[in-house]
């Protein structure tokens, strides 16, 4: 059952959410490890038997599953606009942070939070 959920997660990241990732490789039959990529970014995914963090704690504390950083303020703004035009659902819209970053957060169907960040200037 868990591997079916893992395969669903891979399909979601690649096809279902307009984030623009594509499969780099998967390993195992059925797959239990995979890498997806977009431009120079790589995201490694591994199937686990049960959630690493209990979902109520993850939701209450807004714990991130992944954090990805781009090089410039222009890139983070363009990435946000691209995702917005593709209909991506945001957990947090593009926001300037007091520590000098600009970021946004996407929530996948399984409740995982994916943070995308860049410089505010």
For residue 7, what pLDDT is reported? 67
Question: Of 52, 5, 7, 40, which Cα lies nearest the Cα of 26?
Answer: 7
- Rounded to an integer, the average pLDDT of 58-77 is 92
Contacts of 111 (CB under 8 A, 6+ apart): 55, 58, 59
Q: Which of 33, 32, 14, 12 minimizes the C-alpha distance to 23?
A: 14
Q: Which region among 62-66, 81-85, 90-94, 96-100 has the lowest average model confidence (pLDDT)?
A: 62-66
Q: 8 or 32: which carries more pLDDT confidence?
A: 32
Q: pLDDT confidence of 43, banded at 50, 70, 90?
A: confident
Q: Is the pLDDT of residue 95 over 70?
A: yes
For the chain, which residues make up each domain, given as ranges? 1-50, 52-121
Task: Check pLDDT > 90 for residue 116.
Answer: yes
Dist CA 29 CA 68 (whole Å): 29
Q: What pLDDT is recorded for position 73?
A: 94
Domain 52-121 class, CATH top level: alpha beta
DSSP codes of every residue in 9-49: HHHIIIIIS-S--EEEEEETTTT-EEEEEETTEEEEEE--S
Q: pTM (2 decimals)? A: 0.81
| Residue that is written with structure tokens 């000098």 in the block | 100
């Amino acid at each position: 059952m868990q591997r079916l959920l893992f395969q669903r997660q891979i399909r979601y990241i690649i096809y279902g959410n307009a984030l623009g990732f594509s499969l780099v490789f998967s390993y195992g039959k059925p797959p239990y490890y995979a890498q997806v990529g977009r431009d120079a970014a790589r995201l490694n995914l591994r199937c686990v038997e049960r959630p690493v963090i209990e979902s109520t704690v993850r939701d209450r504390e807004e714990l991130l599953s992944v954090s990805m950083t781009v090089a410039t303020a222009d890139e983070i703004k363009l990435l946000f606009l691209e995702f917005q035009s593709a209909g991506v659902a945001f957990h947090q819209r593009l926001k300037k942070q007091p520590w000098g970053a600009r970021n946004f957060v996407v929530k996948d169907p399984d409740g995982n939070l994916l943070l995308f960040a860049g410089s505010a200037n």
